[in-house]
C-alpha cells in the first residue's frame, strides 16, 4: 500500500482510531494485523518471506543470549547467513546468473544459468537490515532478547517503517511497543503535519521533477549535455523529496500513535563535506553500515593506519552499493562514495589548513558546491540504467560544460530550448520554483522551528496554513502516472 | 586518573588538530563535532600506541564516554 494512495487514506484513520480505542494488551496484535494487511497489499504471498526472516532471527537471538563463547558466534553467523540467503535469492540471484553467463561467454564456456525473474519482495533490504540489527545488538550485549514473539514480529513489521525505513535499532523501538501511548492532541497534530509535509515533497515536488528526469534518463543519447545536467540536478532533488517525503510520512504516521522513529534526513545538501553528507543522508542506513560494517573492519585493521580506514570505507560503501540494488551502476555509485570519503580522510589535515587560510563563509561555500557537485556526479551512476549510459551522460555533460571542439564557434547552445523539448516551459519554471521553495523552507525550519511557531500562533493563522497546505497538495500534486517511491525497489 | 585524562586530551587534540578542545570524563563523541567514526579509530590507535596497550573490540565498544576510556587505561597500568 502506498502512503500517497486512496487505500491508505482509508487504512490510516481506521487503524489509528482502532489503536486508541483498543485495550492496551491487544494493541500489539492490532498493529501486527494492520502491518500484515499493509504489506500484503503488494504481493500477499511474500508475507511468508518476511515471516521466515522473523522466525530465524527470533530464535537465533534467543540461542545467542543463552549460549557463551563460540556457540554465540556460530548462532550469529547462522542467523546472518540465513537472513542474507533470503535476500540473495530474491534480490541478487538473477544478477549473479547474468554475471556468470557473461563470464562464461568471455571464456567460451558452455555454462549457462537460468534467471528466476522473481518480483522483489518490497522493502526486503530494509527489514532484512532491521532484523539483522536485532541479532547483532543481542550478540553485542546491548539488547536483551524479546521473548514476546508478536512484539518481535511487530518490531520487524511495524507498518509505517516496514517497506522503506527508517531502519530502526531494537533499543529505540522494542520498548515502545511495551509502553502505553495515550491519545495526545499535540502529538497527533504534529504527526499529521509531518505527514502532510512529506506528502507535499513526494506528490508536488518529487513526482513533478520525475516528469522531466524519467524521459531524459530513459533515452539519454537523444539529449545534449545541458538537458542531461538539468535532469541530473532535478534527480538530486527528486530522490531527496521522494525518500525524505516517505520518511516524513512514516515518522508522522508513527508519531500520531505516539511512536518515535529516528530522524533519517537532516538537510543533506547543506553538507560541506562528504562525511557530513553521510551524517545527514539516510542516517538509519549510514549508521547501520558504520556500526556493523565499517567499525568492525576498521577496528580489525587499525594497526594498518590509514590503509585500514580506507579499506573499511571501501567495504562499507561496496555493501551500500549492493544494498541499493543488484546492478553494477549501484556498485559504481557506492565505490565512488567510498573513494570520495577515503580522499577526505587522507587529506583531512590539508583541508583544515585550507579552512584556516580563507574566510569561513568562502570556504564553506566552496565546499558546499564541491560536495553537491560530487553527489550529483555519483547520482548519474545511481540513476542511469547501465554503466554505458552513465558514461555517455558524463561525456555529453562534460563536452557541454567544456566545449573544447567548439572553442571558436559563435553558436551559443540554448539550454531553455532543449529543456522545453522534454516538458512545457511553465512546468519547467514551476519545477525550478519548487526547488527554491524547498531549500528556503528547510533553511527556515532549521533556523526557526516552523511547527512550534505554528503551534503558538493564533488559530486562524494555524488553520489557514493547514488549509493552504492541503490545497497545495491536492491541486499541485501529480496524481497521474507511476507514483511509486524510488526506495521501494530496494 | 587526572593525568590519564590530560594525556587523552593531548592525544585527541593532535588527532583532530585542534588545541581548543577540552575533554572531560563525561564527554561523549556526540559532544565533539570532530569526533566522527574516522577520528574515533585514529584516536584509539594513538591511545594504544601511547600507552603501549591493546584493547579488545568488546572493551572499546563498551566505552560510553571519556571516563570509561580513562578507567580502561587505568586498569591496564
Give yes or no: residues A278 and A369 share one domain.
yes
By Cβ distance, the residue of A275, A308, A352 closest to B36 is A275
Q: Which of A164, A180, A196 is the last residue of a domain?
A: A180
* pLDDT at residue A483 in the model: 64
The ipTM value here is 0.81
Give yes or no: residues A433 and A304 share one domain.
yes
End-to-end CA distance of chain A: give it in Å, rounded.
16
Express each pLDDT in A32-44 by its tens digit. Answer: 999 999 999 888 9
* pLDDT at residue A1 in the model: 77
Give yes or no: residues A137 and A10 share one domain.
yes
Q: Is the model's pLDDT at B16 over the cut of 90?
A: no
Query: How confident is the model over A339-360, as a mean pLDDT?
Result: 90
- Specify the number of domains making up chain B: 1
Q: Which residues of A touch B33 (CB under 8 A)?
A: none
Please tell me the distance from the alpha carbon of residue A374 to that of residue A352, in angstroms, as a whole number.
20
Contact B45 A303 (CB under 8 A): yes
Name the CA dihedral angle for B15, B18, B24, B28, rounded to a multiple of 10 degrees: -60
Please tell me the distance from the alpha carbon of residue A62 to that of residue A76, in angstroms, as a whole number.
10
* pLDDT at residue A412 in the model: 60
Query: How confident is the model over A407-430, as a mean pLDDT?
Result: 73
Whether A118 and chain B come into contact, CB under 8 Å, resolves to no
Q: Which of A132, A164, A180 is the last residue of a domain?
A: A180
Chain A 340-379, CB below 8 Å of chain B: which residues? 345, 348-349, 352
Express each pLDDT in A73-87 by its tens digit. Answer: 999 999 999 999 998
> Is A324 among the residues known to form the active site?
yes
Give yes or no: residues A341 and A421 share one domain.
yes
Give yes or no: residues A342 and A441 share one domain.
yes
Q: Which of A130, A150, A180 is the last residue of a domain?
A: A180
* pLDDT at residue A149 in the model: 95
Express each pLDDT in A217-236 by its tens digit. Answer: 999 998 888 899 999 999 99
Shortest Cα distance, chain B CAs vs residue A353, angstroms = 10
Q: Is the model's pLDDT at A62 over the cut of 90?
A: yes
Please tell me the distance from the alpha carbon of residue A37 to that of residue A79, in angstroms, as a whole number.
27
Determine the structural domain holding residue B33 and report its residue range.
2-76
Give yes or no: residues A248 and A136 share one domain.
no
Chain centroid to Cα A218, Å, comes to 22
* pLDDT at residue A104 in the model: 87
Q: Which residues of A touch B60 (CB under 8 A)?
A: 299
Measured from the Cβ of residue B73, the count of other Cβ atoms closer than 10 Å reads 20
Query: How confident is the model over A22-38, as a mean pLDDT?
Result: 94
Q: Which residues of A touch B36 (CB under 8 A)?
A: 275, 279
* pLDDT at residue B18 in the model: 82
Determine the structural domain holding residue A207 and report its residue range.
187-402+414-489
Identify the band that residue A363 occupies on the pLDDT scale cut at 50, 70 and 90: very high
Within a domain: A407 = no
Q: Is the model's pLDDT at A427 over the cut of 80?
A: yes
Q: Which among A160, A202, A195, A198 has a CA at the least distance from the CA of A177?
A: A160
* pLDDT at residue A454 in the model: 80
Whether A275 and chain B come into contact, CB under 8 Å, resolves to yes
Choice between A453 and A140, residue whose per-residue pLDDT is larger: A140
Shortest Cα distance, chain B CAs vs residue A302, angstroms = 6
Please tell me the distance from the alpha carbon of residue A375 to that of residue A389, in angstroms, as a whole number.
18
Least confident of A46-60, A449-463, B61-75: A449-463
DSSP reduced 3-state for A347? coil
- Specify the number of domains making up chain A: 2
Continuous H helices in A179-327? 185-199, 207-218, 225-256, 274-280, 283-289, 295-300, 306-324
* pLDDT at residue A409 in the model: 65
Give yes or no: residues A140 and A222 share one domain.
no
Query: How confident is the model over B11-37, as a mean pLDDT?
Result: 86
Q: Is the model's pLDDT at A410 over the cut of 70?
A: no
CB-count burial class (<10 Å; 0-12, 13-18, 19+) for B48:
middle
The one catalytic residue in A127, A181, A282, A324 is A324
Contact A309 B44 (CB under 8 A): no
User: Chain A residue closest to B39 (CA)?
Assistant: A345
- Tell me the percentage of chain A whose pLDDT exceeds 70: 95
Give yes or no: residues A294 and A329 share one domain.
yes
User: Chain A residue closest to B54 (CA)?
Assistant: A303
Give yes or no: residues A150 and A236 share one domain.
no
Please tell me the distance from the alpha carbon of residue A156 to that of residue A123, in angstroms, as a whole number.
11
Mutate to test the interface with B, among A274, A302, A349 (most CBs of B within 10 A): A302
Q: Is the model's pLDDT at A408 over the cut of 70?
A: no
Query: How confident is the model over A118-141, as a mean pLDDT?
Result: 90
Q: Which among A128, A44, A35, A134 has a CA at the least distance from the CA of A89?
A: A128
Angle at alpha carbon of residue A76, lines to A89 and A48, rounded to 5°: 40
Cell of A202: 513526494
Cell of A456: 503558538
Contact B45 A290 (CB under 8 A): no
Q: Which residues of B touch A68 (CB under 8 A)?
A: none
Contact B38 A345 (CB under 8 A): yes
Q: Which among A50, A45, A96 has a CA at the least distance from the CA of A328?
A: A96
* pLDDT at residue A489 in the model: 63
Contact A299 B60 (CB under 8 A): yes
* pLDDT at residue A490 in the model: 63
Q: Is the model's pLDDT at A416 over the cut of 80?
A: no
By Cβ distance, the residue of A140, A290, A302 closest to B37 is A290
Within a domain: A408 = no
Query: How confident is the model over A372-384, as a mean pLDDT?
Result: 95
Q: Which among A38, A45, A56, A149 has a CA at the least distance from the CA of A488?
A: A38
Cis, bond preceding A266 (omega within 30 deg of 0): no
CATH number of the CATH domain containing B23:
1.10.1200.10
Chain B 16-75, CB below 8 Å of chain A: which residues? 17, 36-38, 41-42, 44-45, 48, 57-58, 60-61
Q: Which among A424, A445, A41 has a CA at the least distance from the CA of A244?
A: A445
Please tell me the distance from the alpha carbon of residue A245 to that of residue A2, in angstroms, as a whole number.
12
* pLDDT at residue A438 in the model: 93
Within a domain: A1 = no
Shortest Cα distance, chain A CAs vs residue B34, angstroms = 11
> Is A147 in contact with A243 (CB distance < 8 Å)?
no
DSSP reduced 3-state for A264? coil
* pLDDT at residue A276 in the model: 93
Give yes or no: residues A148 and A257 share one domain.
no
> Is A134 in contact with A170 (CB distance < 8 Å)?
yes
Give yes or no: residues A221 and A127 share one domain.
no
Give yes or no: residues A204 and A142 share one domain.
no
Least confident of A128-132, A181-185, A393-397, B57-61: B57-61
Amino acid at each position: 500500500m502506498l502512503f500517497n494512495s486512496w487505500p491508505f487514506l482509508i487504512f490510516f484513520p481506521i487503524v489509528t482510531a482502532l489503536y486508541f480505542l483498543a485495550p492496551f494488551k491487544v494493541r500489539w496484535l492490532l498493529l501486527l494485523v494492520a502491518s500484515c494487511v499493509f504489506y500484503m497489499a503488494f504481493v500477499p504471498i511474500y508475507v511468508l518471506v518476511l515471516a521466515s526472516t522473523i522466525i530465524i532471527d527470533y530464535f537465533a537471538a534467543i540461542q545467542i543470549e543463552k549460549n557463551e563463547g563460540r556457540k554465540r558466534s556460530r548462532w550469529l553467523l547462522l542467523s546472518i547467513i540465513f537472513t542474507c540467503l533470503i535476500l540473495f535469492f530474491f534480490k541478487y540471484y538473477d544478477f549473479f546468473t547474468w554475471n556468470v553467463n557473461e563470464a562464461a561467454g568471455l571464456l567460451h564456456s558452455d555454462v549457462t544459468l537460468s534467471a528466476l525473474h522473481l518480483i522483489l519482495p518490497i522493502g526486503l533490504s530494509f527489514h532484512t537490515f532491521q532484523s539483522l540489527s536485532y541479532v547483532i545488538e543481542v550478540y553485542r550485549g546491548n539488547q536483551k532478547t524479546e521473548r514476546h514473539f508478536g512484539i518481535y514480529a511487530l518490531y520487524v513489521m511495524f507498518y509505517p517503517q516496514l517497506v522503506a525505513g527508517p531502519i530502526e535499532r531494537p533499543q529505540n523501538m522494542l520498548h515502545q511497543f511495551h509502553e502505553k501511548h495515550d491519545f495526545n492532541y499535540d502529538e497527533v497534530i504534529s504527526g499529521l503535519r509531518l505527514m502532510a509535509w512529506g506528502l507535499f515533497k513526494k506528490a508536488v515536488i518529487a513526482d513533478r521533477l520525475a516528469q522531466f528526469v524519467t524521459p531524459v534518463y530513459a533515452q539519454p543519447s537523444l539529449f545534449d549535455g545541458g538537458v542531461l545536467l538539468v535532469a541530473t540536478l532535478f534527480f538530486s532533488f527528486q530522490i531527496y523529496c521522494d525518500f525524505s517525503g516517505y520518511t516524513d510520512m512514516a515518522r508522522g504516521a508513527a508519531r500520531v500513535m505516539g511512536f518515535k522513529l529516528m530522524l533519517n534526513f537532516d538537510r543533506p545538501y547543506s553538507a560541506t563535506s562528504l562525511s557530513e553528507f553521510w551524517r545527514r543522508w539516510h542516517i538509519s542506513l549510514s549508521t547501520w553500515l558504520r556500526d556493523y560494517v565499517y567499525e568492525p573492519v576498521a577496528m580489525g585493521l587499525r594497526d594498518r593506519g590509514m590503509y585500514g580506514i580506507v579499506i573499511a570505507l571501501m567495504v562499507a560503501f561496496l555493501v551500500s552499493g549492493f544494498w541499493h540494488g543488484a546492478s553494477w551502476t549501484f556498485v559504481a555509485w557506492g565505490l565512488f562514495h567510498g573513494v570520495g570519503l577515503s580522499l577526505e580522510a587522507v587529506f583531512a589535515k590539508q583541508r583544515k589548513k585550507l579552512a584556516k587560510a580563507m574566510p569561513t563563509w568562502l570556504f564553506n561555500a566552496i565546499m558546499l558546491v564541491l560536495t553537491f557537485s560530487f553527489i550529483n556526479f555519483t547520482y548519474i551512476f545511481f540513476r542511469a540504467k547501465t554503466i554505458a549510459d552513465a558514461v555517455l551522460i558524463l561525456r555529453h555533460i562534460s563536452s557541454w560544460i567544456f566545449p573544447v571542439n567548439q572553442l571558436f564557434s559563435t553558436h551559443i547552445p540554448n539550454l531553455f530550448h532543449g529543456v522545453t523539448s522534454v516538458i512545457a516551459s511553465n512546468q519547467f519554471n514551476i519545477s525550478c520554483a519548487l526547488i527554491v521553495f524547498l531549500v528556503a523552507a528547510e533553511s527556515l525550519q532549521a533556523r526557526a522551528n516552523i511547527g512550534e511557531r505554528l503551534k503558538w500562533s493564533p488559530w486562524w493563522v494555524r488553520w489557514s496554513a493547514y488549509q493552504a497546505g492541503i490545497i497545495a497538495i491536492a491541486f499541485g500534486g501529480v496524481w497521474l502516472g507511476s507514483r511509486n517511491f524510488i526506495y521501494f525497489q530496494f | 586518573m587526572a593525568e590519564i585524562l590530560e594525556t587523552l586530551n593531548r592525544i585527541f587534540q593532535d588527532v583532530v588538530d585542534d588545541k581548543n578542545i577540552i575533554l572531560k570524563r563525561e564527554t561523549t563523541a556526540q559532544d565533539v563535532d570532530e569526533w566522527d567514526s574516522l577520528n574515533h579509530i585514529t584516536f584509539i590507535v594513538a591511545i594504544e600506541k601511547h600507552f603501549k596497550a591493546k584493547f579488545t573490540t568488546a572493551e572499546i565498544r563498551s566505552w560510553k564516554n571519556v571516563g570509561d576510556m580513562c578507567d580502561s587505561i587505568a586498569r591496564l597500568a
